[in-house]
Chains A and B, each alone.
Chain A
Amino acid sequence: MPNQSIITFKDVVKEYDDQPILNHVDFEIEKGKFYTLLGPSGCGKTTILRLIAGFTDATSGEIYLDGKKVNDIPANKRKVNTVFQDYALFPHMNVFDNVAFGLSIKKMAQQKIVEKVKEVLKMVQLSGYENREISEMSGGQRQRVAIARALANEPEVLLLDEPLSALDLKLRTEMQYELRALQRRLGITFIFVTHDQEEALAMSDEIFVINKGHIVQSGTPVDIYDEPINRFVADFIGESNIVKGNMMDDYRVKFVGKEFECVDAGMRENEAVEIVLRPEDLEITAVEKGKLKVKVDTQLFRGVHYEIVCSDTDQNEWVIHSTKKAKIGAEVGLYFNPEDIHVMRFNETEEEFDARLEAYEEE
């Protein structure tokens, strides 16, 4: 199979004032996919973006762009373009001049520039806005100008640094759809940085979950949501009920003093583990039908569902999303399926995790 990866990081380390920001990061990014770097602020996701763009140099390690090592190639010579968090639209130029900036640097003929600007503005649905000043544009429009400006240069990779964070909720959702559609249409690689897990889940082909300068887990949104590798990922992506447990045997796990059937395997006998149960996978039933017995503590109406907080006899808290109302103070049963139980080992790396999954799934 030909090497499809357009960006490769090999053992990249980045330090600021001797403080490690990125710790031996390795990854490959394939052509034509929508990637999201997801993590809390300060985790190093923006640093990865800046390393790709060339705004900052790696302390050690190698960065390859389209098969070529680019560590020493300055930003203006790299075929990647960036959409900045604050858009960084030049305030002394109008929309046309902003979008045409990269093209005029390349000394493209004026006629061609006009055509190209028209084309990309149409792509972001801003046809006819050429002569507007940046200050006359709304936040959402500026966002589109910034995207158009980056796209005008026909980059192979578009880097987006939390570009939606300044928009209100409705506009943000709209732009999520548009960005996704744009990426499919153009077929180029998008690398999107965000701390918003919903955004990441909704838009990406692949998500890299990053924490403290490490890539903690990578995979498709569904994989990451369904099989979080550890407590951090489970907590960061979606809401989770996390309790301590022990792996009794393959496909047998014990928590809250009871043994349950599950779908995980390949661990040591009686290994201490953590169990994730997603709130939407829990179902409230009668006490005798439930696998767990809990008491309803509080309840909030969230619009699409009720958020019901219960506690068991071990004082574990259980959050349940249900369309049905519960009665506060009532004793109820919780029902869940074996595949809803996600077992996480302590300190398991992504490689070990993948290897284990492969091993027992092949059986």
Chain B
Amino acid sequence: MTTKKSKLFYFIPYSMWILLFVIAPILLIIYQSFFDVSGHFTFANYQTYFSSGTYLQMTISSVWYAFLITLFTFLVSYPTAYLLSKTKHKQLWLLLIILPTWINLLLKAYAFIGIFSSNGNVNGFLEFIGIGSKQILFTDVSFLFVATYIEIPFMILPIFNAVEEINPSYISASTDLGANAWQTFRRVIFPLTLNGVKSGVQAVFIPSLSLFMLTRLIGGNRVITLGTAIEQHFLVTQNWGMGSTIGVVLIAAMVIIMLLTGEKKKRGRKMK
């Protein structure tokens, strides 16, 4: 049939893209992870990774920071998303939440450098209320703050969508059956927004594992994430093999997160 032919035609450029830019790079990075600096085949990279304390510790701290960022982001975003969905002109407010994400990430990071710097406004304020000037920039706290700041909109959106999708008659039904506002929230609204939370976690946790310019600009290299390490190996020390090895580990972590937070195929739940 003719549609078969046209279908094939549609697929040519798209499948080229899949082959060249999705499958090939992943295979190449796995391939690359088995070579050392001088181009010899080796398992040494993995050996180094799994036996050296530095790498393991870095992985753990990277996961820990990503976890903290995700947690804080969630704690700020859930109430925001929920309250937003109750406002008038919520679409406009939502757009205003999104707007900062359209401003280049680096510019925002750059603004925080100014705000947090030793003679910046925050310190001015601290001095004013009598606490005195503190080193804020290049601390874990500032890194966590800025990272959370950057990820908030990405968590708000899926949760907001999930809240919006809830059929209002579920809430009426819950009240009708005797539940008060808190019971309705805990037993109906929150479970129904769980998928939004999951995609929010996905959208925040994975990028948080691999943030790298923030670690340098705000964290002052005190925090080293897997992302920083990859960037170091590829662009500074030119040890691509080791960089790729960390990349493979990161990909594995990503797959695990996807499986953990992915929508479990509940029996026919989506069936209409």
Contact = CB atoms under 8 A, between A and B. Distances in A.
A joins B in a complex? yes
Given A81-B177, A101-B187, A75 B172 contact: yes
A133 interface: yes
Nearest to A74: B175
B64 interface: no
Nearest to A149: B177
A275 B178 CA distance: 50
B271 to A, nearest CB: 5
Contacts, number: 77
Interface stretch (A86-94, A253-261, A286-294, A347-355): A86-94
Contact of B170 (A53, A77, A90, A136): A90
A105 interface: yes
Contacts of B173: 82, 84, 88-90, 149
Contacts of B266: 133
Interface residues of B, number: 24
Q: By DSSP majority rule, is chain B's interface helix, strand, loop, or mixed?
A: helix
A81 B268 contact: no
A172 to B, nearest CB: 20
A102 B177 contact: yes
Interface residues of A, number: 28
Contacts of A90: 170, 173-174, 188, 192
Contacts of A53: 172, 176
Interface in A41-90: 53-55, 74-77, 80-82, 84-86, 88-90
Interface in A103-141: 105-106, 133, 135-136
A88 B170 contact: yes
Given A88-B170, A92-B191, A133 B176 contact: no
A133 B177 contact: no
Contact of A91 (B178, B187, B192): B192
A80 B175 CA distance: 11
Contacts of B178: 76-77, 102, 105-106, 153
Nearest to B184: A76
Contact of A76 (B169, B176, B187, B267): B176
B180 interface: yes
Q: B177, B188, B191 — which one has the most chain A CB atoms within 10 A of its CB?
A: B177
A80 B191 CA distance: 26
A133 B268 contact: yes
Contacts of B169: 84-86, 88
B179 A82 contact: no
Interface in A126-169: 133, 135-136, 149-150, 153
A153 B269 CA distance: 27
Interface string A199-236: 00000000000000000000000000000000000000
Given A92-B191, A102-B178, A135 B172 contact: no
A277 B267 CA distance: 56
B269 A86 contact: no
A121 B194 CA distance: 29
A224 B151 CA distance: 64
A135 B270 contact: yes
B175 A55 contact: yes
A82 B187 CA distance: 19
B167 A88 contact: yes
Contact of A105 (B179, B192, B267): B179
**Top 6 A-B pairs, shortest CB-CB distance:** A102-B177, A88-B169, A88-B173, A75-B175, A105-B178, A92-B191
18 contacts: A54-B175, A55-B172, A74-B175, A75-B176, A76-B179, A82-B176, A86-B169, A88-B167, A88-B170, A88-B173, A90-B174, A90-B192, A91-B192, A91-B269, A92-B191, A135-B269, A135-B271, A136-B267
Given A88-B170, A136-B268, 20 more contacts: A53-B172, A55-B176, A76-B175, A76-B178, A77-B178, A82-B172, A86-B169, A88-B169, A88-B173, A90-B188, A91-B192, A101-B174, A101-B179, A133-B268, A133-B269, A135-B268, A135-B271, A136-B271, A149-B173, A149-B177
